[in-house]
Amino acid sequence: MIHLITGGSGSGKSVYAENWLIRQGGREACGKEKPFLYIATMRPFGQESRQKILRHRNQRAGKGFATLECYQDLEALEIPENAGILLECVMNLTANESYREDEKDAQEKGEDKVAEKVLEGIRHLSEHTAYLAVVTGQVDGDIDSYSEETRTYQKILGETNQKIGSAADQITEVVYGIPVPVKV
């Protein structure tokens, strides 16, 4: 089962995703010795991102999560046995795949290829777990005021979110900490 969880910055979507995964009962079904996997995609650039990473680690402490850091190439990740997977977050993963140091950027290699690469990774994760919570953010509606590079990223993210939404069994938007079902 794929559950796409979206919301604005600071909306509570991460806590909701953690709690949703725990409620699915995956650890009871497969044995409590198997952890939930938290796949972290945020690169620790700068003090602000390091603080956010620490806040998220503290927030899930004691909940049975094992953290795997994977900034790109999810499709190549070896997935250990698990009770469920939380992917945090599609926004970071899309940026990481768009601006890879080992390849051309998204504008040169094609927007569709970036979206497909992210989707390929999500398909890979879903094949290795019964429960996959995918956290993403929302694209700002006023994209005309941004640079061409930012607009390209937002377009790719919007397309990627739509495709994940089509594949998802469930979608929830978290607004001010309140989960609003979009697709059930």
| 39, pLDDT greater than 90 | yes
Average pLDDT over residues 52-56: 80
The residue from 3, 56, 124, 128 that is catalytic is: 56
pLDDT band of residue 102 (cuts 50, 70, 90) is: confident
Check the annotation: does 8 bind a ligand.
yes
N-terminal to C-terminal alpha carbon distance within the chain:
11
Active site residue 56: yes
Residue 143: DSSP 8-state: G
Check the annotation: does 58 bind a ligand.
yes
Rounded to 5 degrees, what are φ and ψ at 86? -115, 120
Check the annotation: does 11 bind a ligand.
yes
Check: CB of residue 4 under 8 Å from CB of residue 170.
Answer: yes
pLDDT of residue 147: 87
pTM of this structure: 0.90
Check the annotation: does 59 bind a ligand.
yes
Domains of the chain: 2-183 (3.40.50.300)
